[in-house]
Structure 1
Amino acid sequence: MDKSYFNAFIFSNANKIYYYVFCILKNHEETLMVVSKTMEECWEKRSDMDLTDLYQAFKIAGSLARIKALSNQSSQCSVADFEQSEEVDPLLKKFCLLLKDLSSLESEVICLRSLARLSIEEISVIVEVGISNVISILSSSRKLMRNKVDPLGCLNEFSCHELLSKYYLGTTTIEEEEQLRLFLSRMDLTEIPKTDGDLLRMFLKIGNADIPISGSDFLLKQVKELQSDKSRKIFSKFKKQS
């Protein structure tokens, strides 16, 4: 993968990687540093990567984020900390609050599917659990998030549409979930309960959201310097913190 293809690959997916890492760390500055380090490792491994190998970038990012989270356990930021940050998208704050009662693994699976829109097989490789476990986690986590938004709602309502029923069983394909999103954007699924429509729209908005401008400028500068053979200086601060 040459420089131009690498840049197109990494920057077209940087927002998805950012939001995935943020859901693990819940800290804007640390998330940027992990995304930056991910770009460095992807650049170093570019000869072995293909434009279709998006899951490899997420696997690197997830591994780095988990290491960082472990090192921060004694001083991990609280929900109040990221709620007060002006850099964080309000929708992302809401999303993270919905993830609060999920395990770290459940949160990762939800992020990789709902925001990054990766396949079950790709998620299985990234989080290192079996495909059947990923499906089970998707099902239970989606229901938990729905109940948190609408605790009095009846999950039997999802039988109103075949795709929604499969969605809460964790068995919808990427294509079927895109179909649900498309229908909702066209208001073709008016029979779907408001709770489900709101959740799907939230996932869609966050999944299409850009990195905060300051973060995007930072990453662009990092990649330019990285490709100018200045990576040792660029990432020395990150490595000292790791």
Structure 2
Amino acid sequence: MSRIHPTAIVDPKAELDESVVVGPYAVIGAGVRIAAGSSIGPHSIVEGPTTIGRDNTIYGHAAIGTAPQDMKYRGEPTELVIGDRNTIREFCHFNRGTTQDGGVTRIGDDNWIMAYVHIAHDVQLGSRCILANNATLAGHVHVGDWVIVGGLTGIHQFCHVGAHAMTGFQSHVSQDVPPFMMVSGNPLGVHGFNIEGLRRRGFSRERIGLVKQMHRLLYRDGLTLDKAREAITALAGQVDGGDADVALVLDFLAASTRGIAR
């Protein structure tokens, strides 16, 4: 039995594993590659160049791999790359990259992406993230692993959100959000760190205490950013397994170009 519904349209230049399921009235364009175990829901559109990995589930009415919403775009052969085991719900909209950046919009693995999420050109989304309904990521946004983006949150172009961070409902993210931090509101405010998420991911009590110290140095002790970075650097070597957490924060702060939410 064919796994491609008879009402679907699949371009001859698309490459689909024989196990891929394509629902009614879906349209798969040239330059699309879809690996084993993935499914495309009814009325969805997938345009190329787009690569979709294994065991992804894309629900109905999604628009995947469409041209970037960038007025400078002139049809250059940029692409969208999606990893493995992602769940992408109804009416999501993912754009390809632009030549003004690396030319690739990239989605990692094991993400849970709810309905109406927009991922714009050149976004780099990590793995094991949750994007709630109507989250909107503008062009060139970078999101680390294990991030939770609350419903109706908007993230301004070029902003970075660090690993394990969390944004609340209807957050207006216009500056970089350091790893582990919890933010919400408009204007954006930092309201602690993601302690429950770290517990669920198996962080030890000592590592959680280290993250708490970094939060305090950045947001509670009245230090300048440079002094806070010095104090965070001094935390290295104090907690088993914690040096990677310290390095994650320091590297993020060093790379920030929009300034951090404070």
Q: Which has the larger radius of gyration?
A: 2
TM-score relative to the length of structure 2: 0.30
Higher strand share: 2
TM-score relative to the length of structure 1: 0.31
Higher helix share: 1
